């Protein structure tokens, strides 16, 4: 990898949230003012921070959230096609997380219970607008759908963990978290 002190151009980073809660993105912002020196080294491509809708060729892709619907699969593949290094960030991306707790239930009965039979939903109906992406019968962690290069576990990983991981990676080292930064909860 490039030496970070003599870099001719900035690394491009794209980020997105699939079946996640944006908690990992919030945690990313917990690096606080360190985002300023980081911005000397990187620039954002597709990300909620830039509002760019599609990801171009990038050095690093960071994805939070697992795969719960057809659109998630398309976005994940777009990232994989464009990012040299793809990182699965947070419990949902790494393990399926909370959304995957429906995996041993039948999807039809989940939808029925949530939209039809739950008390107080007398006139409910299962959403069927063609704009809505179809849910998958199971929620998957990212590495079950495309090759993932690195994983940052945690729900969410702390800002310090994300900072350590990214700065290791940008410096060309194998990222390590270590006691206190590695966590699954």
Partner 1 sequence: MNDTFQLDGASVPFAPGQTVMQAALAAGHYIPHLCYHPEFKPHGSCKLCTVKIGNHTAASCTMPAEAGLEIESDIEELNALRRTLVQMLFAEGNHFCPSCEKSGNCVLQALGYDLEVHTAGFRHMYPDRPLDASHPEILLDFNRCVLCELCVRASGEVDGKSVFALAGRGITKHLIVNSASGLLKDTNIALTDKAMEVCPVGVILKKRVGFSKPIGERRYDQRPISAQALDDAPRTPTGAKHE
Are 72 and 65 in contact, with CB atoms under 8 Å apart? yes
Q: Single out the residue of 69, 67, 84 nearest to residue 140, CA to CA.
A: 67
For position 109 contacting partner 1 by CB under 8 A, the verdict is: no
Of the residues 143, 159, 167, 171, which one makes contact with partner 1 according to CB under 8 A: 143
Query: If binding is defined by CB under 8 A, does position 138 make contact with partner 1?
Result: yes
**Nearer to partner 1 (CB atom), residue 82 or residue 88:** 88
Q: Among the residues of the chain, which ranges form H helices? A: 23-29, 35-41, 70-82, 91-95, 107-112, 159-170
With binding defined as CB under 8 A, does residue 24 bind partner 1? no
User: Which one, 115 or 184, has the nearer CB to partner 1?
Assistant: 184
Record the tokens describing residue 182, joined without a space. Answer: 């590695």
- Closest approach of partner 1 to the CB of residue 185, in Å: 4
Q: What is the DSSP letter of 119?
A: T
Question: Binding residue for partner 1 (CB under 8 A) from 88, 162, 163, 166?
Answer: 88
Per CB under 8 A, 178 contacts partner 1: yes
Do 159 and 32 form a contact (C-beta atoms < 8 A)? Answer: yes
Q: Which one of residues 16, 79, 153, 163 is an interface residue with partner 1 (CB under 8 A)?
A: 153
The closest alpha carbon to 18, from 77, 83, 64, belongs to 64
**C-alpha count within 13 angstroms, C-beta hemisphere, residue 70:** 6
* Part of the chain binding partner 1 (CB under 8 A), chosen from 1-9, 109-117, 121-129, 144-152: 144-152
**Whether residue 29 has a cis bond before it, omega within 30° of 0:** no
**Cβ nearer to partner 1, comparing 12 with 164:** 164
Site residues for partner 1 per CB under 8 A: 88, 91, 94-98, 100-101, 103-104, 138, 141, 143-144, 148, 150-153, 155, 176-179, 182-185
């Amino acid at each position: 990898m490039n030496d970070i002190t003599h870099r001719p151009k900035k690394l491009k980073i794209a980020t997105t949230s699939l079946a996640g809660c944006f908690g990992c993105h919030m945690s990313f912002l917990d690096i606080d003012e360190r985002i300023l020196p980081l911005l000397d080294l990187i620039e954002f491509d597709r990300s909620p921070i830039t509002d760019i809708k599609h990801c171009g060729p990038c050095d690093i892709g960071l994805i939070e959230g697992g795969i719960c619907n057809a659109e998630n699969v398309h976005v994940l593949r777009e990232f994989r096609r464009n990012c040299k290094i793809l990182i699965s960030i947070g419990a949902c991306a790494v393990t399926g997380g909370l959304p995957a707790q429906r995996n041993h239930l039948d999807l039809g009965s989940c939808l029925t219970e949530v939209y039809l039979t739950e008390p107080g939903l007398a006139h409910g109906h299962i959403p069927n607008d063609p704009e809505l992406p179809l849910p998958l019968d199971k929620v998957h962690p990212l590495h079950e759908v495309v090759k993932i290069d690195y994983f940052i576990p945690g729900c969410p990983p702390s800002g310090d963990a994300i900072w350590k991981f990214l700065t290791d990676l940008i410096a060309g080292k194998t990222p390590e978290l270590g006691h206190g930064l590695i966590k699954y909860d």
